[in-house]
Amino acid sequence: MLGNFTYSNPTRLHFGDKSLEMLKEELALFGKNVLLTYGGGSIKKTGLYDEIVKILNDCGKKITELPGVMPNPTVEKLYEGAKLARESEAELILAVGGGSVCDYSKAVSVSAYCNEDPWEKYYIKQEDVDNKIIPVGCVLTMVGTGSEMNGGAVITNHAAKLKIGHVFGDNVFPKFAVLNPKLTYTLPKYQMVAGFFDIMNHITEQYFSGTDDNTSDYLMEGLMKSLVVSSKEAVKNPENYEARSNIMWIATWALNTLVAKGKTTDWMVHMIGQAVGAYTDATHGMTLAAVALPYYRHIMPYGTEKFKRFAVNVWNINPECKDDISIAEEGLKAMESWMKEIGLVMKTSELGMTEDMIEGIADAVFLLDGGYKKLTREEVIEILKESM
């Protein structure tokens, strides 16, 4: 393990089909005023909303509701939430939903008492929080982002055509998260598999960096292998508890800072995918799926050794009598077959991206240097064209 780092993760996880029973114990640790955030209505259809409200009432909480958190939450919605959190004197923000609701709740938690425009402060200037933070707890209903155990909070500004994440420190991580795999059964297949690719890509973003022998890489190989097995099962039978529970657990560990330790990490698929998302408002995991292969094929020559290891260790490619490039290519081909098998969108054109958007999207891509090759703007354009 190279480098120096501190590892700490303050989020308490309650996992399993009975995990919601732990919510009462958690609620006892926080004040009376609860801001209940949720999305566009799935929790009302599934009955989860009624269950949560009952638990909150039983615990004597005063509930202020903040519904309508959209996928890819917007800056306007952030302003609305920050105001409501302040006015209701929220002592806990309880996020019930997917990554969007969890991310949004963290963004609200740091914005309620922020004296500046939070978009400018946290997203444009990427400044740290220096004001009161309202604690957040999550009941997760969609798997993929890892938001339940990390400090990420991605906000979209449609007017500026920007989708930007801020990775806050552990003072902003959810204080607790309830992970009941059965709550994910009702996800439409499109969202389910988009989440699966989000998980895979969180891992590859961290895996494809560095050349040292690093324990994190071995952990990630295990997570990826488990994901491939369970995702195929889940597509065949969405109510396969074993598969869905494995995937829920993998998603959390894929992006809760553990496997990033000792790694420089890449994140360029996310940078390009998020810029596509800023223009199209497409589902996060699908934007990643559509740009990942053109990106990886582009950088593979700069990190061939690792792509070869990926092929052999994750996809069981037989390396005998083959040169490194062929092995590496076979690994990406195997990933492509898996992506098609589970039903991912493989083209940005199918997500609403058009040729005339490419220049603007390229301008919105942050060029990072943690992977095997720092891209130029021209290379981003090439990758975007190939992704159509």
42 binds, among ligand NZQ, Zn ion, none (CB under 5 to 8 A by kind): ligand NZQ
x/- letters, 179..218, toward Zn ion (CB under 5 A): -------------------x--------------------
Is residue 344 close enough to count as binding ligand NZQ by CB under 6 A?
A: no
Is residue 181 close enough to count as binding ligand NZQ by CB under 6 A?
A: no
Is residue 26 close enough to count as binding Zn ion by CB under 5 A?
A: no
Q: Report the alpha-carbon distance of residue 388 to residue 371 in Å, rounded.
A: 23
Tokens of residue 255, six digits:
């992006």
CB distance 126 to 90 below 8 Å: no
Among 19, 111, 180, 184, indicate the residue that binds ligand NZQ (CB under 6 A): 184
214 binds, among ligand NZQ, Zn ion, none (CB under 5 to 8 A by kind): none
SS3 state at 356? helix
CB distance 145 to 203 below 8 Å: no
CB of 106 to ligand NZQ, least distance (A): 8
CB distance 167 to 262 below 8 Å: no
Residue 157 exposure: Cα atoms within 13 Å on the Cβ side: 14
Closer CB to ligand NZQ, 142 or 335, in the complex: 142
Residues 6+ apart with CB under 8 A from 210: 2, 217, 262, 263, 264
CB distance 277 to 152 below 8 Å: no
- Binding to ligand NZQ (CB under 6 A) within 263-302 occurs at 270, 284-285
Is residue 100 close enough to count as binding ligand NZQ by CB under 6 A?
A: yes
Q: Count of residues binding ligand NZQ (CB under 6 A)?
A: 35
184 binds, among Zn ion, ligand NZQ, none (CB under 5 to 8 A by kind): ligand NZQ
Closer CB to ligand NZQ, 182 or 347, in the complex: 182
Tokens of residue 345, six digits:
């969108």
Residues 6+ apart with CB under 8 A from 52: 23, 36, 43, 94, 96, 139
Torsion-angle region of 362 (φ positive above 0: left; ψ -120 to 50: alpha; else: beta): alpha
Tokens of residue 284, six digits:
């996060």
Is residue 166 close enough to count as binding ligand NZQ by CB under 6 A?
A: no
Is residue 244 close enough to count as binding ligand NZQ by CB under 6 A?
A: no
Binding site for ligand NZQ (CB under 6 A): 39-43, 46, 71-72, 97-101, 103, 141-142, 144-147, 150, 152, 154, 165, 183-184, 186-187, 191, 195, 198, 255, 270, 284-285
